[in-house]
Structure 1
Amino acid sequence: MAALPSSPILQFGTSRFLQAHVDLFVHQALEQEQALGRVTVVQTTGSAASAQRLAAFNAPGGYPVRIRGREDGAVVDREHRVTAIEAGLHADRDWATICELGATSVQVIISNTGDRGYELCAVDGPSLLDGAAAPRSFPAKLLVLLHRRYLRGAAPLTLYPCELVANNGAVLRDVVRKLALAWKLDNSFIVYLSMTCVWINSLVDRIVSEAIDPAGAVAEPYAIWVIEAKRRMVLPCVHPHIVVTDRLEPYERRKLFLLNAGHTFLAEHWLAYRRPKDETVLQAMSDPALRAELEALWEEEVLPVFDQLGEAGTARTYLAQVRDRFCNPFLAHRLADIAQNHEEKKRRRLLPVVALANELGLTLPQPRLRAALQLAAARHHSGAGMP
């Protein structure tokens, strides 16, 4: 077994986003003595790039995060040396250490496991509860960790999924609970994992455009982590860019419908028209015809939804920020990166705009969204049903 870290924060995922957002927040909070402690990062994939990042996390001196862009009208170009990572572990190699850590010092689990992170794996089963080998799926990994923690009588955890899934905490809790039922675990444990542990819905928002090898990233100045308040929650840190709120939905809707849908619409054009392979968001925004199409998407197909919800002002303020962020001259945000898992992203980012417009009884044709989704044209009367 590897030497046991003592981190209160366990993080699943090694992505450049987590490095330049959550881990940077913890680093900055530690400097102000406003964090629980340092982070242990768990790699769950077998990719060579992730393995190199893991080795860098375990090297002394931290890793660089470079913040580039404009903030309050001024050019920002600064570098942080992030030293918030206590250890980097690999799930397959270090599972016994991870299980012991999860049953002892950990107070908070953070994850960002990608667009398919909540999918289950058929080979995972209750025999894995002995901790001898790591499950394949992330929900099964969580289930094993929580079960071992429960058996040890440790305090409940607070879990912060950061995946771009609406109500991500509740969704992940339900996936893990259903898996526990399928494994026929006892009722008192089911209550522990679903009712005693605290599953937080949260939203992260920062454009992280480039990796710095082997670890580190380039990111924009704009950053926010919106956390839905819950009783008994333990925060990993206190930070100026962390917002704790009773109403997460408006923040989620603005990011999903304006920033994420905008990115995915540009990626749709990049794929459909076989645009230059290394085209960036900035280059796409500099194409007058494509920029006009994106602006029409926002103005004609998305903003009327916010108008109907009574959120016109906040939506337009956020959209102005999004335009500035898309036109950041210091970031090389490649459309090829945004286009990864494109069909799933369209389902999550574009379809909800069409569905909510329909639910609100709007008569929006939404031709660009429907073309991307390959939906039939909208019926031009109030209350028209989804095709």
Structure 2
Amino acid sequence: MSTPILQFGTSRFLQAHADLFVSEAMEAGKALGPITVVQTSGDPARAGRIGALSAPEGFPVIIRGLEEGRPVERELRVRSVTRSLSTSSDWAEVRRVFVEEARVVLSNTGDKGYALIEGDSVDGVPRSFPMKLLALLHARFRGGAMPLTILPCELISRNGEVLRDLIVDLASRHVPDATFVSWLSERVIWGNTLVDRIVSEPIEPAGAVAEPYALWAIERQPGLTIPCEHPAIKVVDDLTPYERLKLHILNLGHTVLADRWLKDARPEAECVKEILADAAIRTELEAIYAQEVIPGFRQHGLGDEAEVYVATTLERFRNPTLDHRLRDIAGNHAEKIVRRIIGFKDWCPGVAMPKLSAIADR
């Protein structure tokens, strides 16, 4: 069966996000078609996952958490993945599928997915994901230059533009063909996206446990092809409000709680839901949202959206089945304060933020 969706990455996040959305859309007749999943790392420890992802019976995704204040748990079966490959052992087939079948390419390659490797080239099987992608795009260009949409799902602001600029730069140095470089910019659609879902644990050998909330925002542009229609997918004119809401409400809230956890030397294994069981801390976070964060968003005409997202975020934080440890959130704390809190203050000059300022100035 032809697979118009080609996915780089086997993460449990994608299993409970894009793979699930496409599976549900296929049942409703609203998807381009099934998915080929490609493992890019070559990690032998994940070999079992490769086969399980494309098993005919599918793999489970358990949705567990709170919806409108009520506990929910349901198990879904994901059957959208019909082929699974590895770049380390199936490079020729990966290239064929990329050239002949793909209409949409997805990626979720981890924190260092865009990192380059010294001495890497487009010859043979490249080692880094960007060089692999460049080699495959060059093969598609030589094989007919059909247009293509690439939707990266890495947690990088303007991720489509970042990936495009990286690939175009690599092409100019490793494939010095002006026509190819022009094709990359003009006929390949590099979508900016934002993904938002907490996937709390894996199910072996394939599958995941995820919260009910899910969002995949994709910025509209001419020529864009989306993999499916789904209630969690929003095609929007401007991704910026969604990025701001996530960064300065959900992420900012995490950093406020992590700061309190560090300052008070609270229990090592404490989770978000547990620290919010402390009434004083919960009241403090709610006051920051109501008195400092929402007024900041209201200054930009996003007050109503912020109120809704705050309510959703607090419900997500209280998810009784999610063990989101503060020690993990507290990693790179100083850097997160700069992006999430100081960045918010700079975005909203003139709005009084005494509690956030106290954290920023500590």
TM-score, normalising length: structure 1: 0.84
CA contact (8 A) 1:257 1:350 kept: no
Between the aligned partners of 1:151 and 1:269, the Cα distance in structure 2 is 56
Between the aligned partners of 1:329 and 1:54, the Cα distance in structure 2 is 31
CA contact (8 A) 1:64 1:216 kept: yes
Deviation at 1:80, TM superposition (A): 0.5
CA contact (8 A) 1:210 1:332 kept: no
Q: Which of 179, 184, 191 in structure 2 is aligned with 1:188? A: 179
Between the aligned partners of 1:279 and 1:47, the Cα distance in structure 2 is 32
Structure 2 alignment gaps of length 5 or more: none
Q: Which of 260, 263, 276 in structure 1 is aligned with 2:251? A: 260
Q: Which of 128, 137, 153 in structure 2 is aligned with 1:146? A: 137
Deviation at 1:154, TM superposition (A): 3.8
Task: Call closer, same or farther: CA 1:75–1:356 in 2, change over 3 Å.
Answer: closer
Which secondary structure does the structure 2 equivalent of 1:103 belong to?
helix
Match of 2:181, as an amino acid?
I
Task: Call closer, same or farther: CA 1:335–1:104 in 2, change over 3 Å.
Answer: farther
1:383 corresponds in structure 2 to none
CA contact (8 A) 1:103 1:148 kept: yes
1:380 corresponds in structure 2 to none
1:90 corresponds in structure 2 to 86
Match of 1:158, as an amino acid?
T
CA contact (8 A) 1:218 1:331 kept: no
1:216 aligned onto 2:212 = no
Between the aligned partners of 1:54 and 1:337, the Cα distance in structure 2 is 28
Which secondary structure does the structure 2 equivalent of 1:11 belong to?
strand
Task: Call closer, same or farther: CA 1:338–1:305 in 2, change over 3 Å.
Answer: same
Match of 1:330, as an amino acid?
T
Deviation at 1:331, TM superposition (A): 2.6
Q: Which of 231, 234, 244 in structure 1 is aligned with 2:235? A: 244
Q: How do 1:158-307 residues align onto structure 2 when only pairs under 5 Å count?
A: 158-267=149-258, 275-292=266-283, 294-295=285-286, 297-299=288-290, 302-307=293-298
Deviation at 1:261, TM superposition (A): 2.7
Match of 2:10, as an amino acid?
T
1:317 corresponds in structure 2 to 308
CA contact (8 A) 1:350 1:369 kept: no
Deviation at 1:136, TM superposition (A): 2.5
Q: Which of 2, 14, 37 in structure 2 is aligned with 1:6? A: 2
Between the aligned partners of 1:158 and 1:362, the Cα distance in structure 2 is 41
1:67 aligned onto 2:58 = no
Deviation at 1:297, TM superposition (A): 4.9
1:357 corresponds in structure 2 to 345
Deviation at 1:123, TM superposition (A): 2.4
Task: Call closer, same or farther: CA 1:268–1:359 in 2, change over 3 Å.
Answer: closer
Q: How do 1:22-61 residues align onto structure 2 when only pairs under 5 Å count?
A: 22-47=18-43, 50-61=46-57
Task: Call closer, same or farther: CA 1:167–1:21 in 2, change over 3 Å.
Answer: same
Between the aligned partners of 1:335 and 1:45, the Cα distance in structure 2 is 29
Between the aligned partners of 1:260 and 1:73, the Cα distance in structure 2 is 21
Between the aligned partners of 2:355 and 2:239, the Cα distance in structure 1 is 29
CA contact (8 A) 1:20 1:219 kept: yes
Deviation at 1:22, TM superposition (A): 0.7
Q: How do 1:114-153 residues align onto structure 2 when only pairs under 5 Å count?
A: 114-125=110-121, 128=122, 130=123, 132-133=124-125, 135-153=126-144
Match of 2:346, as an amino acid?
N
Between the aligned partners of 1:149 and 1:111, the Cα distance in structure 2 is 17
Between the aligned partners of 1:268 and 1:50, the Cα distance in structure 2 is 35
Task: Call closer, same or farther: CA 1:214–1:349 in 2, change over 3 Å.
Answer: farther
Deviation at 1:27, TM superposition (A): 0.4
Between the aligned partners of 2:259 and 2:163, the Cα distance in structure 1 is 28
Deviation at 1:301, TM superposition (A): 5.3
Structure 1 alignment gaps of length 5 or more: 378-387
Deviation at 1:262, TM superposition (A): 2.4
Between the aligned partners of 1:30 and 1:275, the Cα distance in structure 2 is 47
Give the percent of matched residue pairs that are identical in Structure 1 and Structure 2.
48
110-119 vs 218-227, which moves further: 110-119
CA contact (8 A) 1:261 1:350 kept: no
Task: State the superposition RMSD in angstroms.
Answer: 2.7
